[in-house]
Amino acid sequence: MSHYQKPPELYDGLRLHQNENTGGCSPRVLEALAKLRADEIGFYPPYTAATEACARYLGVTPERLALTNGLDEGIMAIAVAHLRPAAGGLIPEALVPEPAFEIYRFDTAVAGGRLVQVMPKPDFTFPLDDVLAAITPRTRVVFLTNPNNPTGVPTPLGAIRTIARRVPKEALVFVDEAYAEFAGETFIPDLPSFANVVVGRTFSKAWGLAGLRIGCLVGAPETLEPIQQAVPVYSVNIAAAVAIQAALADPDHLRHYLRQVAESKALLYATCDRLGLKYWKSAANFVLVNAGDRTAALVDGAAARGVYLRDRSTEPGCAGCVRISTGIVEHTQRCIAVMEEVLCAAA
């Protein structure tokens, strides 16, 4: 297995390569952090208030929610809980419709599971029949993302229900909703009918808290229990636990960002149409653009001008593709100016 290639630490320009909120968090978060007392930092963190705030936000009771140190930690815990080879020799299988968030692949390998990839259709619509055909008695986790990363294309809730009904009884269906705020759609209301489904959420994207590392898993308590065993007991720090409450108390900050994202996507689509670039309509805060044989010129030329984009051309089905965060309108406009400059120079 090749190791996860963490994107380089580029903080001296415009970061449009990791789907972060480039406008940052709510000012209320900074106020709450500034009020933290020395003794609060001296103690192991309490989680009741932060868990209740997240549960209220997601419309569930607190026992159906587990905080994690970023959703990344929740995904690793799922792999550790469900994808370790069993004593009898069975190698658990993780089913991943591609292209997908590459962490699923790496965490599956770390746990010792076997990766079963389902290759994408050219238009990136969800390959339900192929996913169903790839389910085996050894399937233990199905990793689904709605909307998907890196395509931004939605995964139909009906397809998730069908998969959840068809997997072996030991299997878990994980629905990664890292970008759900942008899509306005969630599987959470379905969870009471599907005890084998866990939804993952993050506060890194729409809520602008990536640097603090906080996310959560939502599901039936008995389904969460074995996963929580694989999460260190104090993995979420006090700053994140305080910040999440302050962030959720400022929904206007989120609403503002969602409006900016919608406007940014429209601007980028229009630019792609003008420049003759193919793209996929996105339900997230980024757009996948096919720059064909101009991909390297675009990514390198933009980086030289201080705008960082994510080359996704080696991901399955993504030859020639670049992923561009579409958040704050002013940042998108800067990106568009750079794209026009680079691509016209490369033409």
- Interacting residue ranges for ligand PLP, rule: CB under 6 A: 19, 70-72, 101, 145, 149, 176, 178, 202, 204, 210, 215
Shortest distance in whole angstroms from residue 91 CB to ligand PLP: 24
Residue 55, number of CB atoms within 10 A of its CB? 18
Q: Where are the alpha helices (DSSP H) in 194-291?
A: 221-228, 238-248, 251-275
Name which of 90 and 314 has its Cβ closer to ligand PLP: 314
- Looking at residue 75, its amino acid is I
Element (H, E) at 213: none
Shortest distance in whole angstroms from residue 276 CB to ligand PLP: 28
Find out whether 140 and 172 touch, Cβ atoms under 8 Å: yes
Name which of 146 and 271 has its Cβ closer to ligand PLP: 146
Strand 307-308 with 172-176, pairing = unpaired
Name which of 144 and 338 has its Cβ closer to ligand PLP: 144
Shortest distance in whole angstroms from residue 73 CB to ligand PLP: 7
Name which of 81 and 342 has its Cβ closer to ligand PLP: 81
Shortest distance in whole angstroms from residue 36 CB to ligand PLP: 21
Name which of 118 and 343 has its Cβ closer to ligand PLP: 118
Shortest distance in whole angstroms from residue 69 CB to ligand PLP: 8
Shortest distance in whole angstroms from residue 215 CB to ligand PLP: 4
Token output for 283: 């339900």
Find out whether 5 and 270 touch, Cβ atoms under 8 Å: no
Tell me the residue number closest to ligand PLP, measured at CB. 70
> How far is 74 from 68, CA to CA, in rounded Å?
6
Name which of 175 and 342 has its Cβ closer to ligand PLP: 175
Give how far Cα 171 sits from Cα of 74, 107, 149, 195, Å.
Answer: 16, 16, 23, 11
Q: How deeply is 44 buried, as exposed, middle or buried, from its count of CB atoms within 10 A (0-12, 13-18, 19+)? A: exposed
